[in-house]
Amino acid sequence: MFRENRGIGGAVRGRALMAVAGMVLACSVAACAKDIALISNKANHVSEVSLAELVKICKGQMTHWPDGKPVSLVTRDPALPEMRLVVEKVYGASADEVAKIIADANHARVNHPAVVIAESDEALVKKVEATPGAVGLVDVYAITGGVTVLKVNGKLALEPGYLLHGSQ
């Protein structure tokens, strides 16, 4: 990994390299520990979902809202490090298993997919804004005024005890 350096200057350089490696590791762990919010299209008449409902939405098992609008989830690729929290706490599966769950959910819904994968948080928010019945799982810092933030199990993102809080 690191080549051994001899002498006082080499020891200092070695410690500096180890410190940088530690910061890089801490940053990569922090990237995985984002707070994820559940957002909704403003036309949806829902303000809260239970964990059980969220799991059904994420797996494509909940097809319509009580008002008849089709449900669709917009999310990021489950293989991304920042989606680890969702993969573990909502799906209870590996990223590969989640990709299969999404493919299976979308198989029968060609014209209106159950789950849409967005390329960025910004694209995700815009897709939720533009799609009646849509909800999305997004980094809390990407939220705009064009969407509604939903409670999950009675808690909003950043409230103590919120399910998708990154540092838990």
Statement: residue 11 has pLDDT above 70: no
What does pTM read for this prediction?
0.79
Nearest to 127 by CA among 60, 64, 51, 76: 76
pLDDT of residue 158: 92
pLDDT band at 3 (very low <50, low <70, confident <90, very high): very low
Tens digit of each residue's pLDDT (9 = 90 or more) over 115-132? 999 999 999 999 999 999
State the distance between the two ends of the chain, measured CA to CA, in whole angstroms. 31
Q: Identify whether the C-beta of residue 127 lies closer than 8 Å to the C-beta of residue 74.
A: yes
List the structure tokens of 145.
């005024």
The string of pLDDT tens digits covering residues 127-153 is 999 999 999 999 999 999 999 999 999
Token output for 106 = 């979308």
Question: What is the DSSP track for 74-129?
Answer: EE--TTSGGGHHHIIIII-S-HHHHHHHHHHHHHT-SSS-SEEE-SSHHHHHHHHH
Instruction: Please indicate whether residue 7 or residue 1 has the higher confidence score (pLDDT).
Output: 7
- Domain 34-152, classified CATH 3.40.190.10, yes or no: yes
Measure the CA–CA gap between 11 and 66, rounded to whole angstroms.
66
> Exposure string (b/e) for 114-125, b if CB count within 10 Å is 16 or more?
bbbbbeebeebb
pLDDT of 25: 39
Say what the pLDDT of residue 109 is: 76
Taking every pair of Cα atoms in the chain, the longest distance, rounded to a whole number of angstroms, is 73
Structure tokens at 10: 């080499």
Question: Tell me, what amino acid is at 103?
Answer: A
Instruction: Determine which helix (DSSP H) or strand (DSSP E) holds 58, and give its type and residue range.
Output: helix 51-58
18-38: per-residue pLDDT in tens?
444 444 434 444 445 689 999
Domain ranges of the chain: 1-32, 34-152
* Segment 46-83, tens digit of pLDDT: 999 999 999 999 999 999 998 899 999 999 999 999 99
- What pLDDT, on a 0 to 100 scale, did the predictor assign at position 34? 85
What pLDDT is recorded for position 9?
52
